[in-house]
Structure 1
Amino acid sequence: MTSLNTVPGYKALVAARCTSSVALWLDFTLIFSLLAYHWHADAITIGVSSALYGLPGLVLGPFLGWLADRRNPVAMLAFSYLARGVTSILLMVAPDLNVFVLLVLIKGIANLGAMPAEQILIRSMLSKEQLVSNASVMTAVDQLTKICAPLAAAGMTGLYRPAAGLWLSAALAMVGIFCLPALRWAALSRTRPAVSARPKWHYGPFLQLVRENRRFRQAFVCVLWLSAILGLYDPQLSLFLKEEGMPAAAFGMIVSCTAGGALTGALSFRTLHRRYGCHLPSAGLVAFGLTVLLPGGLAAGGVAIPLPLWLALWMANGCAYGLTAMSFGVTLQQESPAEAIGSNSAAARSAQLGALVLGPLLGASMQRLLGIPLVFVLSGSLAVMGGAVMLWRTQGEKDLVAGQAGSAEYP
């Protein structure tokens, strides 16, 4: 297998992804810091801003994925980075809160074009075997920036003022643009779709893939279930920690442990994927559920949970989440038709966002009825059961295929 380092343009793609990821986390941290500390926004305004920042992916994501399949992905990346940089500057000079919230919506739209364009370039540049190694590299980049970028935002806020970090975000967007000329060959070498007519519905190619491709369907069900379960319990984690008497710093420590676990998963993914293959997303979902079920069960039983156990559980939680998500990413790249990779990746992301939006609403209703510990018990149980069912189905279909092969060999 050819090393990723020898693939022309791959280092430039990783550099662009790194600058993009850092800018994304800087923006997220700084936007909500500014809302709280500079604009003194109330809870409703912050909630509306959060929805406006995330909902464009749910509504416009599939369309931009379809557009990326039919346009030059490098040009689309350049446009996305430029829009990010411009909106960062405009956010810094916004004259009032209403304009700031409108710019948050525009920032959310500007973020959308990068992901499907990157997926198209990755598919154009790498072989199916290299996609597994690429998933490890890109996840490691994302998790490292998830740790470092908020720290950089906090440092700039402390040394200067909250808006100062937006200069860095704008500069990083320009750095990303400078990485793109090295990727032009990949865009020129990719095969354009034979049919350029706009489909009646942008989810069409994605739903066809779900119906017709068993391996993709299994991985997608696992990652969608994972997103829904995360939405159920995650918004209540800080309150759960408070109820259990954990110090205020515990939440930040757990977030760091989650990122550390995801890094561990990224480093081990290539080996685990080679060994377990199609079973890995289901097994990751089961492990993820156990890390949520255990603290909920202990708390419901009145057992005190020491902080080291919390940290260990959430490191395992991040690892399991990462393994399932990376497995789906590789399956998407390997099983999706090349001419629809942008549409399918954006549609899958849109479906996950929908689960993440609806999950907290259902979780809050459950919390009022059952209490936080039982929400964690139920969430973890649903994840374990869902993963177990998918493991059983995957193994059953594998045995069926093997049996059919044996019957063909020995009639």
Structure 2
Amino acid sequence: MGDSQALQRGLWRNKSYRYLLGSQLVSNLGDWLDLLALFALLSFKWQITSMEMAYTMICFGLPMVVFGPISGVLADRFERRTLMIISDVLRIPLVLAFIFGTSVWQIYIILLVKGALGALFNPAKNGKLKEIVAPEHMDKAITYSTMIEQSTKIIGPMLSGVLLSGFGIAAAFYVDAASFLLSALLLIRIPIRQVISSPSAHEARKSMIKELKSGFAFMSKVPFILFGTFLFCLVILVLQIADSQITILLRDIPGMSTEFLGITIAASGLGLLGTATLLSRKSIQSVLPIMCTGIIGLGVVFAGAAWLALLQNGFELLIPLAFLLGGASAGLVFIPFNSTVQKRTPVEYSGRVFGTIGSMTTLMSITGPVIGGVLATLYGVVSAFIWSGSLLAIIGILTLILGKSIDRSATTNVTESA
């Protein structure tokens, strides 16, 4: 206990880490206000179809697929704090543009541009975390970052519900724009990294493909990162079949509202926050069994939520409880995977590795909604949830049986393979 407390004290003395967390806090909070306000606008006010919701989710994710690996290279070559500030500042007018949108096509365009800037931010943030936090503090640093992310998932929907009901949809977008400004101001307080070399534009273009290949080559040398990324992508693909249709599922239940949507998402965040708290108390020794437990849990929750919505005899009020369990299960998947990848990736590869992983998972995030949209259109949104839940449970069980050797490699120090 004494050693653990000493590590925590050492981490919290790190001013750069505190400013980075502060930036994440306000930015994540604003993002949830933005997201729920947009869902309220599209699903409850504009009454878009399942396929239009699928296209919306594609616009959320497509920029990461296109720009993720490239932004990872940029995050490894240029000063990461500067990239994050640029990303924050340029997203301010885009958030405000949602207020003046008059058609779903305008929303698509805004989402694509905003997502491209977000793709620049995330690898830089992950690389900066690796840059400013000592290796012995990394487990705690990632856990606290995840806890803040999920805390905003609870507070954000609640605050969004207040803003939407009391001040209208536009208020949430104004607050999100202000959060990007505050995030940029906090990032200014983080010291810049001394850039060893400043390559010309020609040199940067010439070596970018080479550096992307080196990122893939590193991942191929670490069995857990390679297999874990494949498993993570598969889970995201199947998860998004149902998750992208959650607003449609709730909208089709008589008497549902944007406030109920906020409660459901807040419950999911509370469950994940609980998992993050439990995992922060001890080191993760066996990664894949924990991830498989979470995958199976997600499958049970999604299939169960579909049946609760189908009954519509008061049982639908249990949906927030189901998503509380779903959030806890998601934490068992996301936290061990991200923590292990962080620990096994040297700082000089972190931008490329996380940029590549982000690109691959986001590709799944835009493919899943298309499948979900087609299933929901042809057979109903409940069917999409049942299919998604059943497939997740199968994936979790099969991986639990077949993945023991890969799990052992995750506990071995393999950073020298770089």
TM-score tier after normalising by the smaller chain length: 0.7 to 0.9
CA distance in 2, matches of 1:124, 1:272: 23
Letter in 2 for 1:276: S
CA distance in 1, matches of 2:342, 2:142: 10
TM superposition shift of 1:198? 2.3
Q: Which moved more, 1:99-108 or 1:135-144?
A: 99-108
TM superposition shift of 1:73? 0.2
Unaligned runs of 5+ in 2: 412-418
Find the counterpart in structure 2 of residue 188 from structure 1.
194
TM superposition shift of 1:36? 7.6
Find the counterpart in structure 2 of residue 408 from structure 1.
none
2:44/2:251 contact within 8 Å kept: no
Find the counterpart in structure 1 of residue 120 from structure 2.
113
1:392 and 1:271, CA in 2 relative to 1: closer, same or farther beyond 3 A? farther
CA distance in 2, matches of 1:282, 1:358: 22
Find the counterpart in structure 2 of residue 314 from structure 1.
323
1:2-53 CA distances to partner (integer Å, 9 max, x unpaired)?
Answer: 2221223111111011111122223333445566899x69668776555434
- Give the match's secondary structure for 1:9: helix
TM superposition shift of 1:313? 2.8
Find the counterpart in structure 1 of residue 225 from structure 2.
216
Length-normalised TM-score, structure 2: 0.79
1:15 and 1:374, CA in 2 relative to 1: closer, same or farther beyond 3 A? same
Letter in 2 for 1:320: S
CA distance in 2, matches of 1:135, 1:103: 31
CA distance in 2, matches of 1:398, 1:367: 36
1:250-304 CA distances to partner (integer Å, 9 max, x unpaired)?
Answer: 554332221111111111122465353453222322222232345567999x898
TM superposition shift of 1:166? 3.4
2:157/2:263 contact within 8 Å kept: no
TM superposition shift of 1:203? 5.1
Please state if 1:268 is matched with 2:274: no
2:272/2:328 contact within 8 Å kept: yes
Find the counterpart in structure 1 of residue 415 from structure 2.
none
TM superposition shift of 1:116? 0.9
1:228/1:355 contact within 8 Å kept: yes
Find the counterpart in structure 2 of residue 57 from structure 1.
64
TM superposition shift of 1:102? 4.0
Unaligned runs of 5+ in 1: 403-411
Find the counterpart in structure 1 of residue 154 from structure 2.
147
1:305 and 1:132, CA in 2 relative to 1: closer, same or farther beyond 3 A? farther
Please state if 1:234 is matched with 2:243: yes
Find the counterpart in structure 1 of residue 416 from structure 2.
none
Please state if 1:346 is matched with 2:352: no
Q: Which of 274, 297, 302 does residue 292 from structure 1 map onto?
A: 302
- Give the match's secondary structure for 1:232: helix
TM superposition shift of 1:138? 1.6
Q: Which of 68, 92, 97 does residue 85 from structure 1 map onto?
A: 92
Q: Which of 71, 77, 81 does residue 70 from structure 1 map onto?
A: 77
2:227/2:406 contact within 8 Å kept: no
How many residues matched?
397
TM superposition shift of 1:318? 0.8
1:163-213 CA distances to partner (integer Å, 9 max, x unpaired)?
Answer: 34433333222211221233215x3399999x9652327753443244221
1:337 and 1:191, CA in 2 relative to 1: closer, same or farther beyond 3 A? farther
Find the counterpart in structure 1 of residue 131 from structure 2.
124
1:116-174 CA distances to partner (integer Å, 9 max, x unpaired)?
Answer: 11101111122344222223212221222223334434434444443344333332222
1:213-261 CA distances to partner (integer Å, 9 max, x unpaired)?
Answer: 1121232233212211211222444565678x67525554332221111
Letter in 1 for 2:321: A
- Give the match's secondary structure for 2:15: coil
1:199 and 1:121, CA in 2 relative to 1: closer, same or farther beyond 3 A? same
CA distance in 1, matches of 2:265, 2:164: 20
1:53 and 1:226, CA in 2 relative to 1: closer, same or farther beyond 3 A? closer
Letter in 2 for 1:280: I
User: C-alpha root-mean-square deviation of aligned residues, in Å?
Assistant: 3.9
Letter in 2 for 1:26: L
Q: Which moved more, 1:102-111 or 1:139-148?
A: 102-111
2:20/2:190 contact within 8 Å kept: yes
Letter in 2 for 1:321: A
TM superposition shift of 1:343? 1.8
Matching of residues 2-81 of structure 1 within 5 Å = 2-3=7-8, 4-31=11-38, 51-81=58-88
Q: Which moved more, 1:386-395 or 1:29-38?
A: 29-38
1:343-384 CA distances to partner (integer Å, 9 max, x unpaired)?
Answer: 221221121121121113223444567665554444333222
CA distance in 1, matches of 2:69, 2:131: 20
Letter in 2 for 1:248: M
- State the structure with more CA Rg: 1
